[in-house]
Structure 1
Amino acid sequence: MQHIVSFLSDPKTYNHPVNNVTVVQTHISYVFIAKPYVYKLKKPVDFGFLNFISFEDRKFYTFEEYRLNSRISPEIYLGVVAIVKEGNSFKLIEDGNYNENDVVAYCTKMQYIDDMYSLKNLMKQGIDNQLLSLIAQKIYIFHKGADNTEGLQGFGGIKEITKNTLENFDQIEKYIGVAISKDDYTFMRNWTEDFINAYEDFFTKRNTQGFVRDCHGDLHCEHVYYKDGAIIILDCIEFNKRFRYIDTISDIAFLFMDLDVNGKVEESNRLCAQYIQLSGDYDGILVLPFYKAYRAMVRAKINCFQSDNEGITQQERDGFIQKASQYFQLAKSYMQQSSSGIVYTVFGNIGSGKSTIALELASLTGGVVINSDAVRKKLAGLDVFDNAKAKAGQGIYTPEMTEKVYTTMKQKALAIAHAGMPIILDGTFYSKEIRRNFYQFFKDEGIDVKFIFAQCPKEELIRRIEKREKDASISDANVEIFMLLKDRFEDPGEEIPGIYLVNTDTSIEDIRNQLRNVIS
């Protein structure tokens, strides 16, 4: 293997002009950066959860790496190249014209993309709301199209969940006293086992409902890029199907966790709210703390493994252990999370800024947004961005459908609130009677509820609605519908106590300050 590494480290090896080759090691691969391309060579290693010892396995998983990543980023993953024996040396064959008997190694060939475009680096300058929205949409579309047939055949079931999570503890046991204390190890293992036992039926239901899909498996900030207005996602797991054939909420939980560990908690909260709003997977929130803890444990484990790499300095080794300890503490914090459920009900006329308030509240509180338009379309079998092409009071906007939407919102909100998480209901809630009904429903269930009335001038409402008609939007409401329904909306009075008024005809920061007063 070392002869092949030396060969690929030589600029003269390549079929295009290369000034120098940068070699980067991961725990499973050598990465050769020969701009404008990158070549990945698998190491002959066996970690239990992956086995690249044999040549045939390395070949198989190299082709799998190309196939699977081409699903989501075909512009980056260009193919598989071969290294063949030629006399006393080697030759790199990139056009597929080789005798397989002469091949000594295979590499995945990729288009080079600078790390400056990675989310890990972009977050240093700040992550704006538009970028978070694009990421949520990219992952939602990927998950929606991912295969789920094998999930119904056993992958992603309770057996696999148990194996994946408890395997982490088996593999990190030797790092007790190095990166994790014995007490923390025992607490986290017991918590994990107790959670799996308590939610066994729930996990099984998720599987049969099709939420277990052929996902990415390693979705963190270093694998998400933003360049030229597009989201690019790299390096899905190819080496073990049980790590990739998982619940979609487990897949994206990795990214939420990675934003958290990098101090971007509000951005993580907002991304979560946007993804859940697009997918309609409100039930998935109930197991999100479990999966975020699991993902933190995976990263801790990987850093422990990297601390054992050959050829690294003691300072580098200490850095890996320190990072592993940070991930262990984050995992523990998810397991210890406890808060009282609260429902924020954001209401107002069409275009009044309800959804802006809802997402800002989600960022500040970690709450889940349940949007009435999104729920309505999901109930009708539509995608959230599909236009229902129905007039007010017709199609999916009949009074009967509206009642069904409100009932669904109550049920989903109640389950999440009982789990101790904040909920943000986002809808017009146009009548005093509807608002009274929601208030009494949650009060009877012992759930605290706050109502927020979104306000802005009529001229601004119309301007926003006209702009929204030109952009992709969950809401189908246009100016014509607004003019038909505006007089039906009943301004709040004394139907419920303590309604908060939030002016949205102002800056985002001012809206956030108003919401901080509501939260406090």
Structure 2
Amino acid sequence: MTGLSSHGTHDRDPDDRDVQAEIAQLMMDPATHGGQSVSRIDTHASMVFLAGDRAFKLKRAVTYPYLDFATLAKRQEAVATELRLNRRTAPELYMGARPVIRGTGGTFMLGALQPDGPDPDAVAGVLVDWLVELARFDEAGLLDRVADAGALDAETVDRLADAVADLHACAEPALEQGGADALALVIDENAEQFAQAPDLFPSEAVEQLTGRTRAALSTVRDLMDRRGRDGCVRRCHGDLHLGNVVLIDGRPTLFDAIEFNRQIAEIDTLFDLAFLVMDLDRRGLGWAANRLLNRYYRGRDDLDALAALPLCLSLRAGIRAHVAASARATQPDADARAAKEREARTLFDAAQNYLAPAPARLIAVGGVSGSGKTTVARRIAPEIGRAPGALVVRSDVERKRLFGVAETEHLPERAYQGKVNAQVYQAMFDRAAAALKAGQSAVVEATFLDRSSRAAARKTAEALGLAFQGVWLSAPEDTLKARVDARTGDASDATSRVVEGQLTRAPKGEIAWPRVDAAGTPEAVGARVLELLAAG
């Protein structure tokens, strides 16, 4: 789960094991739960007991190189930290701390729930250990299962991105952690773990990957150190993959944040986000990985951070690769072990591939309002440049940003005239240029009615020595009007009357950008645009 070493683990003294064995017996007894049946899940660090509408987590009295639950005091502290951290995102799940008490006859029993966290002074009896008590949820709502079922949709991805952004905004800065040195430690840890499975990760390939990751780190060392000083290293989730997100009332809810190791959790927010991006990308959900990145960065200006994205994706893939390799030993049969081996090799290859990204380029999508520019931009973005695809920059969104209003707030007509238009286009090109400088491709979409705006798009790319392509979308007037009239909850303020005015100004005859009939289905139009871009 964490990606750190599992070697050198050991249980605590026999008394700890005996006590926790008795606790397990208590928790597996239906009588403890009012007669309800109980099931148990074991992990390397905890025992989880499921009964009725509750789950109870007992932290094992074990020590690992990255985790120390050796004493009751340390487990108590971990319970308190787990509650505090996870209540940032899932307060409805984390009910509180439940003491385990030894009664006068020596039998174990559960004490009263402590909603505010473990307080040994409030325990009536001899305190034996602590449980985290959680509300159970429908496991079919876990996003890894939703994704595997092909049921992940755009709205859920948007809400997921917002949830991550909200966590990062409120997370406590960690000025003593992070920066380039923290990523260097991850590189070393990955290399050490790869060496434990030479049958899956040949030494020559490991040496090559390690060398490339160190070289990649050297190019962004100053950037990552500056981000650390600027407060971008925070107490993040730390284990942010789809299996640690669940839909509750349709809302993606982050849970099971790392509580036991500050080094794992106090990281750059980009490194935290990269786990989700990588997880989506490796599941074949490139569209979702791209949409997540775009939604997360929608209101952010630190686009220079994208220069470190390939490194972060590679490190995350590497972590998951050696975790999969370690997990094969716990699989129940040969087929399951083989599946883990395939997963490990695939992720290792991905770690290599993320460090060999495609060169950045700028794509412009123009056309009258209602021609489907936004839909096309979103459809082609995952296929443009390096993973997870291009940053999409919309003139409508930049206009709302310029005026400091919500994307769906209507602006007056004067906001679409003269100098304001020039400012909007410049802001759009500046944002695209920031992504391009960081190595991420960009797709800009606007009406581009004026020749000068189309020329400015080309010059933005040429100034950086990068490739540029533009496409012009066309559709019948009735189709354009029907589309703008049907819009809800979008940044565009266009109406049928606006469409009429734009059509009088739209370029006639031949233009430098190839024209695409946008009257078809979004899938067909997107495919046609990608064909044109591939043809050059």
Q: Which range, TM-score by smaller chain?
A: 0.7 to 0.9
Structure 2 counterpart of 1:121, from 145, 152, 163: 145
- Post-superposition CA distance 1:407-447 (Å, at most 9, x none): 44434434544565432112232311111122234235432
Moved more, 434-443 or 484-493: 484-493
Alignment of 1:84-483 (within 5 A): 84-86=101-103, 87-96=105-114, 98-99=122-123, 102-126=126-150, 127-143=152-168, 145-148=169-172, 150-151=173-174, 153-170=175-192, 172=193, 174-307=195-328, 320-335=340-355, 337-365=356-384, 366-378=389-401, 382=404, 385=407, 387=409, 390-394=411-415, 399-400=418-419, 402-414=421-433, 416-417=435-436, 421-468=440-487, 470-471=488-489, 473=490, 475=491, 477-479=493-495, 482=498
Structure 1 stretches of 5 or more lacking a match? Answer: none
Which residue type is aligned with residue 136 of structure 1?
A
RMSD: 3.0
Which residue type is aligned with residue 490 of structure 1?
A
Q: Distance in 2 between matches of 1:282 and 1:383?
A: 21
- Post-superposition CA distance 1:206-249 (Å, at most 9, x none): 23444333321211111122354322222111122232232222
Structure 2 counterpart of 1:47, from 46, 64, 73: 64
Q: Classify the secondary structure of the residue corresponding to 2:113.
A: coil
Alignment of 1:485-496 (within 5 A): 486=502, 489-491=505-507, 493-494=509-510
Q: Distance in 1 between matches of 2:214 and 2:69?
A: 30
**Aligned match of 1:501:** 516
Cα distance 1:411–1:390, how it changes in 2: closer, same or farther (>3 A)? closer
- Post-superposition CA distance 1:360-387 (Å, at most 9, x none): 011333222122333444556x476473
Q: Distance in 2 between matches of 1:271 and 1:54?
A: 41
- 1:34 equivalenced with 2:20 (yes/no): no
Q: Classify the secondary structure of the residue corresponding to 1:509.
A: helix
Which residue type is aligned with residue 205 of structure 1?
R
Cα distance 1:467–1:58, how it changes in 2: closer, same or farther (>3 A)? farther
TM-score after normalising by structure 1: 0.86
Cα distance 1:313–1:490, how it changes in 2: closer, same or farther (>3 A)? closer
Q: Distance in 2 between matches of 1:479 and 1:196?
A: 49
Aligned length: 503
User: Percent identity between the aligned chains?
Assistant: 25
Q: Classify the secondary structure of the residue corresponding to 2:393.
A: strand
Structure 2 stretches of 5 or more lacking a match? Answer: 1-19
Q: Distance in 1 between matches of 2:434 and 2:288?
A: 24
Q: Classify the secondary structure of the residue corresponding to 2:47.
A: strand
**Aligned match of 2:15:** none
Q: Classify the secondary structure of the residue corresponding to 2:132.
A: strand
Which residue type is aligned with residue 363 of structure 1?
P
Q: Distance in 2 between matches of 1:2 and 1:319?
A: 32
**Aligned match of 2:16:** none
Which residue type is aligned with residue 37 of structure 1?
R
Which residue type is aligned with residue 390 of structure 2?
G
Which residue type is aligned with residue 128 of structure 1?
D
Q: Distance in 2 between matches of 1:401 and 1:340?
A: 33
- Post-superposition CA distance 1:18-70 (Å, at most 9, x none): 12x22112222212121311111112233322222222111111121122111
Paired residues of 2:67 and 2:260 also in contact (CA < 8 A): yes
Paired residues of 1:451 and 1:500 also in contact (CA < 8 A): no
Paired residues of 2:472 and 2:515 also in contact (CA < 8 A): yes
- Post-superposition CA distance 1:302-336 (Å, at most 9, x none): 33444566x9667666654553333222212212x
Q: Classify the secondary structure of the residue corresponding to 1:393.
A: helix
Moved more, 458-467 or 238-247: 458-467
Q: Distance in 2 between matches of 1:463 and 1:280?
A: 35
Cα distance 1:7–1:419, how it changes in 2: closer, same or farther (>3 A)? same
Which residue type is aligned with residue 88 of structure 1?
G
Structure 1 counterpart of 2:73, from 45, 56, 69: 56
Cα distance 1:378–1:165, how it changes in 2: closer, same or farther (>3 A)? farther
Q: Distance in 2 between matches of 1:375 and 1:417?
A: 17
Q: Distance in 1 between matches of 2:399 and 2:440?
A: 23
Cα distance 1:18–1:55, how it changes in 2: closer, same or farther (>3 A)? same
Q: Classify the secondary structure of the residue corresponding to 1:175.
A: coil
Q: Classify the secondary structure of the residue corresponding to 2:253.
A: strand
Cα distance 1:51–1:305, how it changes in 2: closer, same or farther (>3 A)? farther
